[in-house]
Chain A
Amino acid sequence: MARKHIAGVAVVTVALALTGCSASNNSASGGEPSGDITVLTNRTDLVDTTFKDYKKAFEKKYPKVNVKFEAITDYEGEVTTRLSTGDYGDVLGIPASVTPSQLPQFFEPLGDTSDMKKKYRFLNDKSYDGKQYGLPTFGNANGILYNKRIWKEAGVTDLPKTPDEFIADLKLIKEKTDAIPYYTNYKDGWPLGSWQGQQGFSGDTGVVTDRDKSDAPWSKGSEQYITDALLFDVVKDKLSEDDPTTTAWEGSKALIGSGKAATAVLGSWAISQFQQAAKDAGADPADIGYMPFPYQKDGEFHSAIGGDFNNAININSKNKVAARAWVDWFTNDSGFAQSQGAIPAQVDAPNPSTLQDFTDAKVKLVELDKAANPSLDSDIYNKAQIDLFGNVYRQKLVDIARGAADGDMNSYFSQLNKEWADARTKVKS
């Protein structure tokens, strides 16, 4: 099967690589935007509604441009494959698997990062060698989504300030309510990656560089240790769902929305979706609350904010001027960030109402520093096969915590440390 799978990818690659060679070299600046552009998007849910309106508004402003959308369900997988063919639309969201050093191979530079920083934030991810390759559509904060009603019923009034308080609160919920205190979403897996999204919760903006310099990121006191130990303890103390192998993401929205489950670590993009799920389940959308990771430095909570999908221009595009117009228009004039309840990419834009809880708790929003070597982190974790932002190694962590796999937290962490250190030496050599 795998042979067929990879082989299938290969044949498409070869066939399309031949047709994709006719790249034109017109640049993205100068001239009036005109021609046809194809926009790839992962928002299959919006392409026939909201995006139709965007097309109308955009074409009104630039009458000579004709916008076409291509909505892709398995966006990450499909677009990653198409990248090597040259045929990936004119404007597209940059797939997460492209490393910063690969950006110049596939995308048109949008300008100098230092210049663009005056107007936009969240630029660090898609910048390489001082040039900017992607413009964020909006940004997210990171924290923990919870059902306020349930937490209140359990008698919790203050936000937990330490991991221990968080565990104690979940225990209260287990005792006093019928709700599942924490929902891991183990089966779908990717929500487990949201735990990594919390990095920077200690206010340390250089956390990625620190990790890449360390031979033992899972050492007591480090962010990585605190994050994974908390997940481990939640599962070990039986505060999560009984059988994690049969969870379902869509179902989890309704569970938390209606108060059958109480808590989940997720990015702030999820807030509006869970509010909708609460409404659909006949509950009050105002029950959905958002708290920062339970950790304080100098008496303050911190939450890392970062860009969501970045729009970029295909380096082979024939209508780069029109493509550039769309990229700028989408971030600045479409109102997409506001409609998603997300943090706009403009430096001076106000926080959305979904983050009111953060404003109330005086959470400090921080942006992580750009790593000195932006590809190093992914090089190491891919080599080590520790998918920090994926699900494989955290599923193993959950398995160990619930007694379904051999070992304990310390043995697993030292194994991770060893694999990390080995990978570091291999990557550097």
Chain B
Amino acid sequence: MTQTTGTPGGIAPTAPPLDAVEASGKAPRRGIRQSKWTPYFFVAAALILLITFTYVPAANLIWYSFTDWDGIDKTKDFVGFDSYAEIFTDPEIFRVFFVSLYYIAASFVQMALALYFATLLSFSTRFRNLFKGILFFPFLINGVAIGLMFLYFFQPGGTLDALLKGVGAGGLTTQWLGNPDAVNVSLAATSVWRYTGLNFVLFLGAIQSIPSQLYEAAELDGANRFQQFRFIIVPGIKRIISLSFILAISGSLAVFEIPFIMTGGANGSATFVIETIQRAFTFRQVGVASAMAVVLLIIVLVITFIQRRIAPDKEVELS
């Protein structure tokens, strides 16, 4: 620690060490003047990218949401809050939020699984690196590939049906994507399979940063594994858990890739984002679609705000 603060890294541009040593009498005026702008150049590269690819499009999006643009026409008529009024008066649009409930439920399953495996593999287990790899692997696969893989998996007579028949549970088979009661569960399960690895790695990293002497002390005091989990691990990774909650909920509202590839939003599996895409590119109502995107953004912001209020971000003290 002391080493880091001691080095003149922060003020290096003003006086290069060599110059300072060789000619300590010279006032490094030129160096100071240059340095005034240098940091801005470094920041500029990032800022330009950020502004061009995030803020300008976001501003445009908000502007489009107040127009009746169809995505092509050269004229965009200003229509005020008409698009927003349409969204909040159309029951169809809010019906799709029910689909998100499946994904929210799934995200709890996903976090429970991830936490379970992370805890298990944080203790010394045989083949733990292999298991870590297996759990994280799905996250590395491209979402489109996952969609296609599971499309075959869920097909009538596909892998899942064959598996169920193999273990004598052939009666459980259904049209996993064709049955309207099953389709969202199937899709949410695919989503769990894909993202558990990410949560797992986040949890594992947090667990491993807990000092090991705490476990030793706990063991000396006679705490069992569950008590260690309850009183050391959970408080120790509280911040990561709350972060995962925010990601899970906002992710559940913005689900897109998997249902879009696997069903295209048909059979009652359309999510809010698929509905937005359809508005923009099927029905050429870019104005309304932009408004929907803005509404989604606001909803996510509000949820994050509420969540932060309920569970404030406190520094965790373990010792």
Give me the interface of A with B, judged by CB distance under 8 Å: 1-3, 5-11, 13-15, 77, 80-81, 83-84, 97-99, 102, 105, 186-187, 189, 242-246, 382, 385, 387, 390-392, 395, 399, 402, 404-405
In Å, the complex CA distance between A160 and B22 comes to 100
A5 to B71, CA, bound (A): 13
| Distance to closest chain B CB from A15 (angstroms) | 8
B246 within 8 A of A: no
Using a Cβ–Cβ cut-off of 8 Å, how many residues does chain B contribute to the interface with A?
Answer: 51
**Who on chain B is nearest to A10 by CB?**
B60
Residue in B70, B283, B296 whose beta carbon sits within 8 Å of that of A3 in the complex: B296
Contact B72 A77 (CB under 8 A): no
B156 x A243 contact (CB < 8 A): yes
B175 at interface, CB cutoff 8 A: yes
B281 contacts which chain A residues (CB < 8 A)? 77
New A-B pairs, 17, CB < 8 Å, besides A382-B285, A405-B180: A1-B273, A2-B296, A6-B289, A6-B293, A11-B56, A14-B60, A98-B72, A102-B72, A102-B73, A105-B74, A186-B266, A189-B266, A245-B177, A246-B177, A382-B70, A382-B284, A391-B266
Most buried by A among B52, B263, B286: B263
Most chain B beta carbons < 10 A, residue from A1, A83, A390: A1
Does B127 make an interface contact (CB < 8 A)?
Answer: no
Return chain A residues, CB-CB under 8 Å to B263. Answer: 187, 245
Cα A197 to Cα B257 in complex, Å, equals 30
Number of A-B pairs, beta carbon distance below 8 Å: 125
Residues in chain A near residue B293, CB distance under 8 A: 2-3, 6
| CB neighbours of A105 from chain B (8 A) | 73-74
Q: Can you spell out 11 A-B residue pairs with CB atoms less than 8 angstroms apart?
A: A2-B254, A3-B297, A5-B277, A6-B276, A7-B58, A77-B281, A242-B175, A245-B266, A246-B178, A404-B267, A405-B268
Task: Please report the C-alpha to C-alpha distance between residue A11 and residue B156 in the assembled complex, in whole angstroms.
Answer: 43
Given A11-B56, A245-B178, A246-B178: A6 touches B156 (CB 8 Å cut-off): no
The answer to whether A246 touches B154, judged by C-beta atoms less than 8 angstroms apart, is yes
Interface check B7, CB cutoff 8 A: no
Complex contacts, A99 vs chain B, CB 8 Å: 70
Q: Is the CB of B61 within 8 A of A10?
A: yes
Nearest to B155 among chain A residues (CB) is A246
Q: How far is the CB of B173 from chain A (nearest CB, A)?
A: 11
Residues of B close to A102: CB separation below 8 A: 72-73
Q: How many Å lie between the Cα of A243 and that of B64 in the bound state?
A: 40
Q: With contacts A2-B296, A10-B57 known, is A399 near B71, CB below 8 A? A: no
Q: Which B residues lie within 8 Å of A189 (CB)?
A: 264, 266
What is the chain A residue whose CB lies nearest that of B59? A10
Residues from chain A with a CB closer than 8 A to the CB of B146 are none
Q: Are B254 and A399 in contact (CB under 8 A)?
A: no
Does B56 contact A14, Cβ atoms closer than 8 Å?
yes
Chain A residues with CB under 8 A of B276: 2, 6
Contact A7 B60 (CB under 8 A): yes
Contacts of B179 in A (CB 8 A): 404
Q: Which residues of A contact B284 (CB under 8 A)?
A: 97, 382
Return chain B residues, CB-CB under 8 Å to A391.
264, 266
Tell me if B256 counts as interface (CB < 8 A to partner A).
yes
Residues of chain A within 8 A of B254, CB atoms compared: 1-2
Contacting residues, chain A, for B256 (C-beta < 8 A): 1-2
Q: How far is the CA of A2 from the CA of B272 in the complex (A)?
A: 9
Known A-B contacts A80-B72, A242-B156, A405-B268; the reply to A385 vs B283 at CB < 8 A is yes
* CB-CB nearest 3 A-B residue pairs: A7-B57, A10-B60, A243-B178
In this assembly, does B280 line the interface, its C-beta being within 8 Å of a C-beta of chain A?
yes
Residues of B within 8 A of A187 (CB): 263-264, 266
Q: Does any Cβ of A come within 8 Å of B233's Cβ?
A: no
